[in-house]
Amino acid sequence: MKRTHTVAILGHGVVGRGVCDLITNNQRELVHYLGCEVKIAHILDLRDFPDSPYGELVTHLFDDILLDESVETVIEAMGGSHPAYEYTQAALSAGKNVITSNKEVVANFGDKLVRLAAENGVSYRFEAAVGGGIPVIAPMLSSIRQNRILEVRGILNGTTNYILTKMFTYGDSFESALSDAQALGYAEKNPDADILGTDSARKIAILTALALDMLPSVDEIHTEGITGIRASDVRFAESIGHRIKLLGRCISNGGKPVVCVAPFLIPCESPLASVNGVYNAVEIVAEPLGNVMFYGQGAGAGATASAIVGDMIPIVTGGGYNPIVPGFNRAEHFIRAEFSTFSSRFYIAADERHRDELTVLLEAEPYSEEGGEVVYITKEMTEKEMDALTERFEGELLSKIRFI
């Protein structure tokens, strides 16, 4: 029996250190499941870590890893597109498996990297890139693959979910909930990728590839963040038995994917409505399976390390395989166009001076009128129809949020 599987880790930050700890502390479990020990040969980082128990393994030269023939698997936990993409390419070309938590690289270059891995007979795996510690990619590739997937929708970003939960529970404004999230370390100093929806867009792109066999370009995905959500929107949602959640959604529309990231009004009885704080969840609607939901910690050192090390199991026990190839073909440029056919009911809030005009345009009586604002719940209509109706109010509507 093979005695050791040797890995190198790129990045000694939150995730990289979490992987070191898991491999070190759970060696007994690893030996049990993998049938061999796991050895960390190198850690690449820009800095030295004299106080880290793994400090002696740190190198600043990627070639130390690339040229070390004993390294079978490279774990990329550096973040950013570059040089993470180039290092991944080099490792796969050298016949090393790569496991990553970097959704930016998977969403931007996953199609190329999955092909490159297949050409070199190695694996490129990325369970940790979506939903942190929640196993969602592996089930989508195995136990539910025989179904026709109709929709994947998820709360894919813990920071925004924390902010929305805070706004709901304590009536906080967006700004105050964001600074609270920053103080607690849930949001970065520059939180744009989270609050503008980009992080969720990368993740729903990856899930779309697995669900509908097409990898959309992230900049083609209709993406709205949560910066425009007001405390009064959250209160309104509550008054009608709903919650506001930032969802990534990919829906099969006759085989063509409708993909978006946006805040949605979700009925309280929906399981997604009760996902609070920094937790993530992914709900899959499939034929004939029905609905299944995966729920858990979407980030954090331990949870993310669990997903990364879990990706090692098929590599070590299955002889290295890469079943992801079919889904990772770049989608044609119709993703944005398809979104115009997406249909929903809308909650609209506007200044009361627009009351008469909106009542005619939306063919709906105001749902409520309070504090100088008028609120409507529209009939179901497509994005194209809504855009045509509200074109003249560009920038003037106080809120426009879809119902799920």
Ligand X SMILES: NC(=O)c1ccc[n+]([C@@H]2O[C@H](COP(=O)([O-])OP(=O)(O)OC[C@H]3O[C@@H](n4cnc5c(N)ncnc54)[C@H](OP(=O)(O)O)[C@@H]3O)[C@@H](O)[C@H]2O)c1
Please, is 199 exposed, middle or buried when counting C-beta atoms within 10 Å of its C-beta (0-12, 13-18, 19+)? buried
Residue 153's DSSP bridge partners are 249, 283
Q: Is 79 in the site for ligand X (CB under 6 A)?
A: yes
Position of minimal CB gap to ligand X: 13
Q: How far is the CB of 25 from ligand X (least distance, A)?
A: 18
Q: How far is the CB of 209 from ligand X (least distance, A)?
A: 17
Nearest of 239, 235, 196, 204 to residue 221 by alpha carbon: 204
392 DSSP 8-state letter: G
Q: Is 189 in the site for ligand X (CB under 6 A)?
A: no
Stretch that binds ligand X, among 40-48, 65-73, 350-358, 383-391 (CB under 6 A): 40-48
Per-residue contact flags (x/-) with ligand X for residues 101 to 140, judged by CB under 6 A: xx-------------------------x---x--------
Helix axes 158-170, 231-239, angle to 10 degrees: 70
Stretch that binds ligand X, among 78-86, 107-115, 118-126, 387-395 (CB under 6 A): 78-86
Pick the closer one to ligand X by CB: 204 or 389. Answer: 204
Tokens linked to 231: 């405390």
Catalytic: which of 203, 256, 379, 384? 203
Amino acid at 371: G
Stretch that binds ligand X, among 39-47, 88-96, 233-241, 283-291 (CB under 6 A): 39-47
Nearest of 217, 252, 204, 255 to residue 333 by alpha carbon: 217
Q: Is 83 in the site for ligand X (CB under 6 A)?
A: yes
CA dihedral of 306, 309, 310, 311, whole degrees rounded to 10:
130
Pick the closer one to ligand X by CB: 108 or 270. Answer: 108
Pick the closer one to ligand X by CB: 16 or 191. Answer: 16
Pick the closer one to ligand X by CB: 44 or 71. Answer: 44
Among 7, 43, 44, 98, which residue interacts with ligand X (rule: CB under 6 A)? 44
Cα distance between residue 157 and residue 262, in whole Å: 12
Q: Is 66 in the site for ligand X (CB under 6 A)?
A: no
Alpha helices, DSSP H, located in 121-277: 137-141, 158-170, 174-183, 192-195, 198-212, 231-239
Q: How far is the CB of 231 from ligand X (least distance, A)?
A: 28
Please, is 115 exposed, middle or buried when counting C-beta atoms within 10 Å of its C-beta (0-12, 13-18, 19+)? middle
Q: Is 278 in the site for ligand X (CB under 6 A)?
A: no
Q: Is 223 in the site for ligand X (CB under 6 A)?
A: no
Would you call 203 a catalytic residue per the annotation? yes
Angle at CA of residue 310, ends 80 and 282, nearest 5°: 70
Helix axes 27-34, 14-25, angle to 10 degrees: 70
Per-residue contact flags (x/-) with ligand X for residues 9 to 38, judged by CB under 6 A: --xxxxxx----------------------
Among 38, 45, 252, 335, which residue interacts with ligand X (rule: CB under 6 A)? 45
Q: Is 305 in the site for ligand X (CB under 6 A)?
A: no
Among 46, 190, 255, 269, which residue interacts with ligand X (rule: CB under 6 A)? 46
Q: Is 277 in the site for ligand X (CB under 6 A)?
A: no
For 137, residues 6+ apart whose C-beta sits below 8 A from its C-beta are 126, 127, 129, 130, 206, 210
Q: Is 299 in the site for ligand X (CB under 6 A)?
A: yes
Tokens linked to 392: 């003249």
Q: How many residues bind ligand X (CB under 6 A)?
A: 21
Pick the closer one to ligand X by CB: 18 or 216. Answer: 18
Q: How far is the CB of 291 from ligand X (least distance, A)?
A: 25
Q: Is residue 305 within 8 Å of 311, Cβ to Cβ?
A: no
Stretch that binds ligand X, among 65-73, 169-177, 259-267, 297-305 (CB under 6 A): 297-305
Residues constituting the chain: 404
Would you put residue 197 in left (φ > 0), alpha (ψ -120 to 50) or beta?
left
Active site positions, annotated: 203
- Give me the residues that bind ligand X (CB under 6 A), please: 11-16, 44-47, 77-79, 83, 101-102, 128, 132, 299-300, 304
